[in-house]
């Protein structure tokens, strides 16, 4: 077995790898950049080495040698699918926990992977370029990066006029994310499901699949909810994809854990090969939640480490069974009801559901007081629920998200909860563009205001009576208990409620009528009953701030022609200067944060009167970047 493992990553995946390594008696080494010396992933390992960047191949390899590591686990993201990194690790005499650099090079590039898939008899999505490789014959098409994954460098194009801008944006994003701006243009399937197959292969010729997953709940090609097994699949189609995934892994000589992704056309029922991810996937916990080998749960990181150490897999395909259902929700620092724009700030209070409640797993690296910046991917953690069937897992996820609270910055937990509770998701899998076509209703703050009213009274005398009115709870009588705060009526809901005072003024309220759980905090106060300040509330995962409001404008463009930064980030592109004439929709500049780009467009025909954006500069949320004056 490997003796010392350097984990070339950060956040929840580094913690997750360290947990398994420690259980196997393997010493673990973290890498960190300046400012992350005490980050959760550093504290989860036995030792740590500073590097100038998580993307610096030479520095990470040098760190492994300095720490006396004999193996490197890349996690996902960062360098995990960079063939030069795998090659550098091998050249240094270390074991890379993953496929070889040559296999990664072939499968990590989507155009090369297409050819290998075709050689293995796996169907692929038709290319869309014209014979000369220029303008596609028909639209819509999907422009996507040939390297990497994670939805980066992808644009849907519906007209020839949109193509040049889409190509520029996709190439720029791909170069920044993967160091490779090569693009593919394929026919876009309007209604498709994203189904993937987990494979394991050892160095002794054994290749098995571990069932399938459905990752169709996506927004802008980024996965939101993932589940295993993929529901409502035709048995013949399932068998075709499982067999194709194993055949593809054999064809390329794959070793270690990998994922073969397919696009299932909902209209025709035809599956098409999309790509192979030559690493562990973010959604691997749902596979771990349902796969049993000889009746026992499987740890994919353990299997990765054993395979990398040269051990045989130790089981065959017939030993693999899928039992029950698992659903994972990805928690992001983003405003899901404000264009999914990245958010940044200090997570003043963080409450995750307890794994001891049964059927719930949380993989995270976020704790109270932690600063969330735009320097890294906005994913903060994952909440996974397992049940005997899909509906039990879904209801378990709803309960877990109800008990998740992140205060201090906006996250997508409320959105995840609303999506999982929706009739559409409950009925079965969504298609990949469902969230692009359907907007979930914005949450109303009535329940949040009621919860604040309850907290402010409670101080709402605790009752010390016998029977159901014992002093472990308190009861609101409804309308007569209404309070007024900052001109808002705060009416406590009726019912029997339990109050738990948590750390630093945070109160958890649990009741026997909806909303079931609420978290309240008045910033700057000793508790929710103190005067002054705003009340910060999380109900069903959704964060509200009641009281004095932040007046920073967060739209893309204002009616008066002022365009401000819709998120804290970096100015990537400035295309105009004062005095330039522009038409409505012309792109004036581009802002990027957490790997997401947003173009700022002219709101109407007119003249640019002010440009305060500079390429490469950091801008704050709400900073005025451009001003356009309307024409006559």
Query: CATH number for the domain including 581?
Result: 2.40.50.100
Q: Are residues 453 and 493 in the same domain?
A: yes
The pLDDT of residue 467:
34
List the one residue out of 354, 231, 352, 236 whose CA is nearest residue 286.
Answer: 231
Q: Are residues 358 and 462 in the same domain?
A: no
Q: What is the CATH number of the domain that holds 407?
A: 3.30.470.20
- Does 71 reside within a domain? yes
Strand partners, 601: 587
**Lowest-confidence region among 67-76, 271-280, 470-479, 583-592:** 470-479
pLDDT in tens, 123-168: 888 777 644 446 677 788 889 888 876 678 889 898 988 888 988 9
Instruction: Output the CA torsion 416→418→424→430 (10° steps).
Output: -10
For residue 397, give every residue at least 6 positions away whose Cβ sits within 8 Å of its Cβ, in sequence order, or none: 327, 329, 383, 384, 385, 420
Q: Is the pLDDT confidence value at 334 over 50?
A: yes
Q: Are residues 269 and 363 in the same domain?
A: yes
Q: Are residues 320 and 397 in the same domain?
A: yes
- Does 109 reside within a domain? no
> Which DSSP helix (H) or strand (E) runs through 264?
strand 256-265
Left (φ > 0), alpha (ψ -120 to 50) or beta: where does 174 sit? alpha
- 592-616 mean pLDDT: 84
- Does 105 reside within a domain? no
User: Would you state the structure tokens that stand for residue 372, as one six-digit string?
Assistant: 């969330």
| 520, 546, 572 - which closes a domain | 546
Q: Are residues 256 and 361 in the same domain?
A: yes
pLDDT in tens, 290-331: 999 999 999 999 999 999 999 999 999 999 999 999 999 999
Round the average pLDDT of the chain to a whole number and report it.
Answer: 86
- Does 371 reside within a domain? yes
Q: Are residues 231 and 336 in the same domain?
A: yes
Q: Are residues 328 and 385 in the same domain?
A: yes
At residue 522 the predicted structure's pLDDT band, cuts being 50, 70 and 90, is low
Q: What is the pTM of this model?
A: 0.81
- Does 121 reside within a domain? no
Q: Are residues 245 and 159 in the same domain?
A: no
Strand partners, 72: 6, 96
Q: Is the pLDDT confidence value at 529 over 60?
A: no
pLDDT in tens, 184-233: 888 888 899 999 999 999 999 999 999 999 999 999 888 999 999 999 99
**Rounded CA separation 50/42 (Å):** 10
- Whether 260 and 249 have beta carbons less than 8 Å apart is answered as yes
Domain extent for 507: 446-546
Q: Is the pLDDT confidence value at 424 over 90?
A: yes
Q: Are residues 164 and 209 in the same domain?
A: no
| 141, 172, 187 - which closes a domain | 187
Q: Are residues 27 and 13 in the same domain?
A: yes
- The total domain count for the chain is 5
Q: Is the pLDDT confidence value at 476 over 50?
A: no
Q: Are residues 418 and 479 in the same domain?
A: no
- Does 102 reside within a domain? no
- Does 555 reside within a domain? no
- Does 556 reside within a domain? no
Q: What is the CATH number of the domain that holds 147?
A: 3.30.1490.20
At residue 598 the predicted structure's pLDDT band, cuts being 50, 70 and 90, is confident
| 437, 465, 492 - which closes a domain | 437
pLDDT in tens, 13-69: 999 999 999 999 999 999 999 999 999 999 999 999 999 999 999 999 999 999 999
Q: Are residues 307 and 216 in the same domain?
A: yes
pLDDT in tens, 452-467: 777 766 543 332 233 3
Q: How far is CA 131 from CA 25, 128, 134, 188, 259, in A?
A: 57, 9, 8, 18, 32
What are φ and ψ of residue 536, in 5° steps? -100, 130
């Amino acid at each position: 077995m490997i003796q010392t493992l350097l984990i070339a990553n950060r956040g929840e995946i580094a913690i997750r790898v360290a947990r398994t390594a420690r259980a196997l008696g393997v010493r673990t080494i973290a890498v960190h950049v300046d400012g992350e010396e005490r980050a959760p992933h550093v504290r989860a390992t036995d030792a740590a080495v500073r590097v100038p960047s998580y993307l610096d191949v030479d520095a990470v390899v040098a760190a492994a040698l300095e720490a006396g590591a004999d193996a490197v686990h890349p996690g996902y993201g960062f360098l995990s699918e960079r063939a030069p990194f795998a090659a550098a690790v091998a050249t240094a005499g270390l074991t890379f926990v993953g496929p070889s650099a040559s296999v990664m090079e072939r499968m990590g590039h989507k155009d090369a992977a297409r050819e290998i898939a075709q050689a293995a008899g796996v169907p692929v999505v038709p290319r869309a370029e014209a014979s000369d490789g220029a303008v596609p014959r028909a639209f819509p098409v999907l422009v996507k990066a040939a390297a990497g994954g994670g939805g980066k460098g992808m644009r849907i194009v519906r007209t020839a006029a949109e193509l040049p801008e889409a190509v520029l944006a996709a190439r720029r994003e791909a170069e920044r994310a993967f160091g490779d701006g090569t693009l593919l243009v394929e026919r876009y399937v309007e209604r498709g499901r994203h189904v993937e197959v987990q494979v394991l292969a050892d160095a002794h010729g054994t290749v098995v699949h571990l069932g399938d997953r459905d990752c169709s709940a996506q927004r802008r090609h980024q996965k939101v909810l993932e589940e295993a097994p993929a529901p409502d699949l035709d048995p013949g189609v399932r068998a075709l994809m499982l067999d194709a995934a194993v055949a593809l892994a054999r064809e390329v000589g794959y070793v270690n854990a990998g994922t073969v992704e397919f696009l299932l056309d909902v209209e025709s029922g035809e599956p098409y090969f999309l790509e192979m991810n030559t690493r562990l996937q973010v959604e691997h916990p749902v596979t771990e939640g349902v796969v049993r080998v000889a009746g026992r749960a499987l740890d994919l990181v353990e299997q990765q480490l054993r395979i990398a150490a040269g051990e045989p897999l130790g089981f065959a395909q017939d030993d693999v069974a899928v039992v029950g259902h698992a659903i994972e929700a990805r928690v992001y620092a983003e405003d899901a009801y404000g264009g999914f724009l990245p958010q940044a700030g200090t997570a003043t209070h963080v409450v995750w559901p307890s794994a001891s409640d049964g059927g719930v797993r949380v993989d995270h690296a976020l704790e109270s007081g932690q600063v969330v910046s735009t320097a890294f991917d906005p994913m903060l953690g994952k909440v996974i629920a397992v049940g005997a069937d899909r509906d039990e897992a879904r209801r378990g996820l709803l309960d877990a998200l109800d008990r998740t609270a992140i205060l201090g910055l906006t996250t997508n937990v409320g959105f995840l909860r609303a999506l999982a509770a929706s009739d559409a998701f409950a009925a079965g899998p969504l298609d990949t563009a469902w969230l692009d076509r359907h907007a979930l209703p914005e949450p109303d703050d009535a329940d949040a205001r009621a919860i604040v009213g309850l907290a402010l009274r409670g101080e709402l005398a605790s009752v010390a009576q016998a029977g159901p009115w014992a002093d472990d709870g308190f009861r609101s009588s409804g309308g007569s208990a209404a309070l007024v705060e900052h001109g808002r009526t705060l009416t406590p809901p009726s019912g029997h409620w339990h109050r738990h005072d948590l750390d630093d003024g945070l109160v958890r309220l649990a009741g026997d009528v909806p909303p079931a759980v609420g978290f309240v905090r008045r910033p700057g106060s000793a508790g929710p009953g103190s005067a002054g300040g705003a009340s910060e509330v999380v109900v069903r995962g959704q964060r509200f701030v009641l009281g004095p409001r932040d007046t920073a404008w967060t739209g893309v463009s204002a009616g008066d022609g002022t365009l401000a930064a819709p998120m804290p980030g970096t100015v990537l592109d400035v295309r105009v200067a004062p005095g330039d004439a522009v038409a409505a929709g012309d792109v004036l500049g581009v802002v990027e944060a957490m790997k997401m780009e947003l173009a700022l467009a002219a709101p109407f025909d007119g003249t640019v009167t002010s440009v305060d954006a500079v390429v490469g500069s950091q801008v704050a949320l709400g900073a005025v970047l451009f001003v356009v004056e309307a024409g006559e």
